Amino acid sequence: MHSFSFRTVPHIVFEAGASKRLSSLAAPVLNGAKRLFFVTDKGVRDAGLIDDALAALEADGFDVFVYDEVVADPPEAIVLEAADKAREFGAEAIIAFGGGSPMDTAKVVSLLAGGDQPLSEMYGVEQVRVSGLPSIMIPTTAGTGSEVTNVAVITTGATSKRGIAAGPLYADMAILDPELTLGLPRHATAATGIDAMVHAIEAYTNKRSKNPVSDALALAALKKLQGAILTACDEPSNLEARGDMLLGAMLAGQAFSNSPVGAVHAMAYPLGGIFHVPHGLSNSVVLPPVLKFNAASAENLYAEMAAHMGLEASSAGLITEMERIADATGIERRLSQLGISHNDIPRMAEDVAANDRLLPNNPRELTYDDIVRLYEEIV
């Protein structure tokens, strides 16, 4: 008998237009809190995505402070600045509105503004000892699944990334509003969608934490995402496809939050940390060589996923389908297209080899030489 535990966000709302009803939907979570600290980025704010939610909150007597300085791969300085602003404002609850970076930032701000533990002591697995402020996550992309995960990834120093994985990072509510994703460009739709598929694949093949609940969620996520990603790219205003993308990303997020990701993410991190490649695109580019490398140890698992997706029940079936999706969406496939050369590989490989949080989850052990060889396959 395989023992396991499973945790997730206690309250999830899926509804077109839900963000316009934020005030009423959030009431049970806010427990009377009136001073709300919004975490977003300038792109989301300038697109007007938060306007309806803000207007409704302010009309209902909430005092709202909007922090829109979040950037991709949020550095420690931004997270700490946001936490300082939240404390100065007297925030009673945190609301994230955006992609993975605003949501990761907001989750950590909730802890820093609601407790006295320094950020430096939170990195790693289950190192958080504070509970934080009530928090609500509202994604505007369908990829990271951060709205339902207990993980936040922060850029430390000049280029390296570190993760915090702990129960207190789970939000109190996630609101999935597919209308918010209608304006997402094709390239971002593709990259974030493949990112979500990677979450499901790596959750299903985790050799340490794989469990029946995460397996079921990962398979459901793959089916949703496979069926919707090309339609969402080709028909950006297709609300049904956008909804399936959001649901697939959320299901995959629940899966990998309990059965964490592996070598694909470990190899993607240096692309974001050093070269500022968007996270979803980083995962998409490094996925094919890692799938092929892992096949020797994960053939049965890859075959199960492929069969569930209506494909040939083999690792080749899964790999071929992921390559087909990448080709059809038109995303970059090689490091050179992202400005990364052979000369950059040793530095990236060193970062990956030192990732003792993710690599142990991978179904097949990777050495430094393996990592170099996999990067070389996609230069």
Residue 1 has pLDDT above 80, yes or no: no
Out of 115, 149, 180, pick the residue that ends a domain. 180
Mean model confidence pLDDT for the chain: 96
Half-sphere exposure of 221 (CA within 13 A, CB side): 32
Tell me the average pLDDT across 134-162: 92
133 or 73: which carries more pLDDT confidence? 133
Eight-state DSSP code of residue 15: -
Indicate the pLDDT class of residue 147, thresholds 50, 70 and 90: very high
160 or 339: which carries more pLDDT confidence? 339
Q: What is the pLDDT of residue 160?
A: 79
Strand residue runs (E) in the chain:
12-14, 35-39, 63-67, 93-98, 124-125, 135-139, 151-156, 160-165, 173-176
DSSP conformation letters of 158-191: TTEEEEEE-GGGS-SEEEE-GGGGTT--HHHHHH
- Contact yes or no for 319/301 (Cβ under 8 A): no
Domain CATH code at residue 61: 3.40.50.1970
| Cα–Cα dist 197/202, whole Å | 9
The residue type at 199: H
| Cα–Cα dist 276/225, whole Å | 25
Domain CATH code at residue 195: 1.20.1090.10
Q: What is the pLDDT of residue 270?
A: 94
Indicate the pLDDT class of residue 260, thresholds 50, 70 and 90: very high
Task: Count CB atoms within 10 A of the CB of residue 129.
Answer: 13
Residues 31 and 146 in one domain: yes
Query: Edge-to-edge, what's the strand order for the sheet holding 151-156?
Result: 124-125, 160-165, 151-156
Eight-state DSSP code of residue 63: E
Residue 251 has pLDDT above 80, yes or no: yes
Q: What is the pLDDT of residue 73?
A: 86
Q: What is the pLDDT of residue 367?
A: 97
Q: How many domains does the chain have?
A: 2
Residues 172 and 192 in one domain: no
| Cα–Cα dist 50/98, whole Å | 9
Q: What is the pLDDT of residue 158?
A: 74
Indicate the pLDDT class of residue 328, thresholds 50, 70 and 90: very high
Indicate the pLDDT class of residue 133, thresholds 50, 70 and 90: very high
Tell me the average pLDDT across 107-130: 96
Out of 129, 153, 180, pick the residue that ends a domain. 180
| Cα–Cα dist 233/331, whole Å | 11
Residue 330 has pLDDT above 90, yes or no: yes
Rounding to the nearest 10 degrees, give the CA dihedral for residues 262, 263, 269, 272. Answer: -110
Tell whether 6 is covered by a domain.
Answer: no
- Contact yes or no for 22/175 (Cβ under 8 A): yes
Domain that holds residue 286: 185-376
* Burial degree of 87 (CB within 10 A; 0-12, 13-18, 19+): middle
Out of 145, 164, 180, pick the residue that ends a domain. 180
Tell me the average pLDDT across 29-46: 95
